[in-house]
Structure 1
Amino acid sequence: GEIDIMEHVGHNLGTIHASAHSKDYQWQTNTQQTDTIHIADVAENFHSYILEWTPEVMKAYVDDKLYFEYKNEGLGEAKWPYIQPFYLILNVAVGGAWGNVQGIDADAFPQSMQVDYVRIYQKK
């Protein structure tokens, strides 16, 4: 499984995606659990990207605004593998099947991803 708290594709400035991928819900077949929100100043200002993840539901927010919710359907690990630890990855991806749909603008480089902080809280 994979949980995307924030995905931003350069050729679609301002559109933020949250997604959950699993064996049965994959981007290759367009069955992933996903939703989007538009943030007009995404490239100019810092924003808070939040994921609340419990055994029952995942919720994603930008600046405290809920825009993605995926409930555990209780249909097994092929749909909900999120019952184990996951790695946290901060990734600047260039190209690929999605990011390269409209080509890569070489004039856009160099680029950077600036992160103010990352916090993880776990309920006991």
Structure 2
Amino acid sequence: MLAINHLCGGLTFTATFCSFQDINIFEKPEYLALTVFGALAPDIDNTKSLIGKLFYPIAKKIQEHWGHRTATHSFLACIVFTMFFATVQALTGAENLTTIAFFSYLSHLIFDMCTKSGLPFSIL
């Protein structure tokens, strides 16, 4: 999938599921930024992706070591991403970061599962 697809899908998916918990991702700029980042984050394993270009040294290492749609496209990576933002939320006193991080990252995984290439079933 292209970055624009993940952005549009991630915004829609995250806004929908966060609204069930009375969270409006369009309420604050940081919520929207986290949604965009989370929706693109799993593609940090590809140096040709938008986020891979922004974080090129990290993307290159991940791509060389694991390849595309492996380590960062897993439920474990989703949990690690979510826990990172749970820690940020706890340390800063910010609200709703954990929920937004989870749904935005999960959106990427679900949309990649729907492509022809799919995702390998892996918890790691």
Relative to the length of structure 1, the TM-score reads 0.31
- Larger RCO (alpha carbons 8 Å, 6+ apart): 2
Pick the structure with greater CA Rg: 1
1 or 2, which has the higher strand percentage? Answer: 1
Relative to the length of structure 2, the TM-score reads 0.31
